Chain A
Amino acid sequence: MSFFGEINHYDQKEILGQIMEKRPADVEEALHAERLSLDAFQALISPAAENYLEPMAVRAHEITKQRFGNNILMYVPIYLSNECTNGCLYCGFNACNKIGRKTLTLEEIEEDALTLNKHEFRHVLLLTGEDPDRIGNDYLVAAVKKIKHLFGSISIEVYPMDTDGYKQMVEAGVDGLTIYQETYDPVLYEKLHPFGKKRDYKWRLETPERGGEAGLRKIGIGALLGLGNFYTEAFFTGLHALYLARRYWRTQVSVSFPRIRPADGGFAPLYNVTDKQMVQGICATRLLIPDAGLVLSTRESAQFRDNLIPLGITQMSAGSCTAPGGYAHEDESTGQFSIDDDRSPEEISRIIRAKGYEAVWKDWDPAFLERAS
């Protein structure tokens, strides 16, 4: 059964009710569990757990340290294009927004890539909007081939593809896929995506599965925090990650915690996700899946990011620019959203070190994917 089939067994309101009913005793029991049941996970993401953030953080810290050591993997996004035919209400690339549009040429992509390579980055995430006439699989394959000699690992965060499309990406040298469901609430999803291919909730929800079938090695998921109710989004994100980890057992699943940022179009968050809830979500997810990668982007403030480092985070972006071509040439087009932590990679690396961690720039090798000739 696909995750779409699985999620249909759950009633969103019923799940929210179960979470809201959790009591301190449930949280305490969950904190002592060797492995979390879904019921215990609900306790840890519930309002009752807000008074237990310190013991949750201590456990999340210990588990992460044991499994991942004192390392934080560094990555950087490269925006290849901001052209998009979707109407996602919260996104700066929304087709209705009158912004400067740009799709990088292969030469421009290489320019950005060279700049990032000089900053030591060896893990990159390529991003585009969804515009089949302008950005297709062949464009991405050409982009990957152009820059793969500069990096150890290339992941994509682009429009959803079918399984064959992902196989094509793997062959070109892509090892990771990031795809956010944005919201697991199908009713809200429909409202937020008034037109465009992205309107299809099921197609998007099953995207990580198609990536897994195609043999992608790393799959990242997440809900865009600030759209749906925090508690149900945290629950279904955890459920989704567990589903993927069990089904695609050769694939490393990671979970991101993107919180909505100001973007062109002036969308205001529908749900205010607090810093405390962010911490709660990160720690509870760590306790649910001790081996999952947990990812933090530059959407958050420098100070908040620094404080989150020891709580279970394993990967961070740094020095990010969300506008295509923004690394080699500043201010040529408009970004997807504004970032908060604008410190340089070197500066962030120093801070990671001061926290007792080592910033790791390379933890993958393209040789894994090169089939024997």
Chain B
Amino acid sequence: MDEFIIANRRFRSRLMVGTGKFSSNEAMLEAMVASGSDIVTVALRRVDIDNPQDYMLKHIDRERYLLLPNTSGARDAEEAIRLARLARAAGCEPWIKLEVTPDPYYLLPDPIETYKAAQILIKDGFTVLPYINADPILAKHLQEIGCATVMPLGAPIGTNKGVKTRDNIAIIIEQARVPVVVDAGLGAPSHAAEAMEMGADAVLVNTALAVSPNPRLMAAAFKKGVEAGREAFLAGLGKKRKLAEASSPLTGFLREVK
């Protein structure tokens, strides 16, 4: 059984989904179901965390999904820590997708503040899943202090450009001892498949689903992309070669004539 495990917790799906940018809450819920995801991330800035009637908190079935709060909007470690603690105090599980993005334009993660926040949150008992640039050394540091995953970006958030950081993600995958989740920038199921073929443990997708004219169908397509990529990885992709090697060699007759 090909299980996906984060911090001793088992998940069936290797596709995580975000909940922002959808044209309606209903469209978001439909996409969530179609994606087959087990892990759904929600920006704490978007929810009234103390209000059980808040739409997202009310409609995301927490028996079925792991509601993974994220600290989107936090500009430094202190803000991210505060948000994480608020979520826990309001009854969320102590899991946090750590996002520290001081630049509101490209929303690129701040490595220094992310590291600081992760240190404190881990000591505080949180299971921390940090969003990072595709930096293999930072990934090692975060792994060493006890992060449950690393979540390198494929391309800046919302760009749909695909796995632009491919070479560095390959190094992270090669060296990581925790699950590697490729987060941000995946715009097509083929991008998700590519990340999974490379050996990523999971991917996270939001914009590509949310801004699709048909989020439900796109979510189903991503589900297949992730599964196809994973199966290809498990089967073992053929090596790329410079010269063609025909299945019936053209010069085979030379070997036959002795």
Contacts and interface: CB of A to CB of B under 8 A. Distances in A.
Contact of A365 (B44, B81, B160): B44
A273 B103 CA distance: 34
A362 B25 contact: no
A86 interface: no
B24 interface: yes
B82 A370 contact: yes
Nearest to A246: B105
Contact of B211 (A66, A245, A252, A371): A66
Interface string A214-234: 000100000000000000000
Contacts of A367: 44, 79, 82-83, 86
B211 A65 contact: yes
B173 to A, nearest CB: 28
Contacts, number: 80
B23 interface: yes
A360 B45 CA distance: 11
A66 B211 CA distance: 7
Nearest to B159: A66
A360 B46 contact: yes
B146 interface: no
Contacts of B73: 364-365, 368
B211 A368 contact: no
A304 interface: no
B48 interface: yes
Interface in A355-373: 356-358, 360, 362-365, 367-368, 370-372
B216 interface: no
Most buried by B among A249, A357, A365: A365
B94 interface: no
A68 interface: yes
Given A250-B104, A291-B105, A372-B78, A70 B23 contact: yes
Contact of B21 (A70, A250, A356): A70
Given A66-B160, A70-B23, A362 B48 contact: yes
Interface in A330-373: 353, 356-358, 360, 362-365, 367-368, 370-372
A239 B135 CA distance: 34
B37 interface: no
Given A66-B207, A249-B105, A362-B45, A356 B86 contact: no
A47 to B, nearest CB: 30
A371 B86 CA distance: 13
Contacts of A364: 45, 73
A71 interface: yes
Contacts of A66: 158-160, 207, 211
A251 interface: yes
B102 A250 contact: yes
B7 interface: no
Given A249-B105, A250-B104, A357-B23, A365 B158 contact: no
Instruction: Report, as a range, how many residues of chain B touch the other chain.
Output: 20 to 34
Nearest to B84: A367
Contacts of B83: 365, 367-368
Nearest to A62: B211
Contacts of B102: 249-250
B22 interface: yes
A67 interface: yes
A69 B23 CA distance: 8
Contacts of B153: none
Interface string B22-49: 1111000000000000000000111111
Instruction: Report, as a range, how many residues of chain A touch the other chain.
Output: 20 to 34
B90 to A, nearest CB: 11
A129 B21 CA distance: 36
A68 to B, nearest CB: 7
Contacts of B78: 371-372
B210 interface: yes
A364 B43 CA distance: 9
A314 B112 CA distance: 31
B75 interface: yes
Contacts of B46: 360, 362-363
Nearest to A245: B105
A199 B65 CA distance: 58
Contact of B75 (A71, A122, A250): A250
Contacts of A368: 45, 73-75, 79, 82-83
Contacts of B75: 217, 250, 368
Nearest to B47: A362
Contacts of B106: 291
Contact of A69 (B22, B25, B81, B82): B22
A122 B49 CA distance: 13
Given A67-B158, A245-B105, A250-B102, A358 B25 contact: yes
A372 B84 CA distance: 13
Contacts of A360: 46
Given A69-B211, A362-B45, A372-B78, A249 B23 contact: no
Contacts of B21: 68-71
13 contacts: A66-B207, A66-B211, A67-B158, A69-B23, A70-B22, A71-B20, A217-B75, A362-B45, A362-B47, A365-B83, A367-B79, A368-B75, A368-B79
Interface of B: 20-25, 44-49, 73-75, 78-79, 81-83, 86, 102-106, 158-160, 207, 210-211
Given A245-B105, A367-B44, 16 more contacts: A66-B207, A68-B21, A69-B22, A69-B23, A70-B21, A71-B21, A152-B48, A356-B23, A358-B24, A362-B47, A363-B45, A364-B73, A365-B49, A367-B82, A367-B83, A370-B82
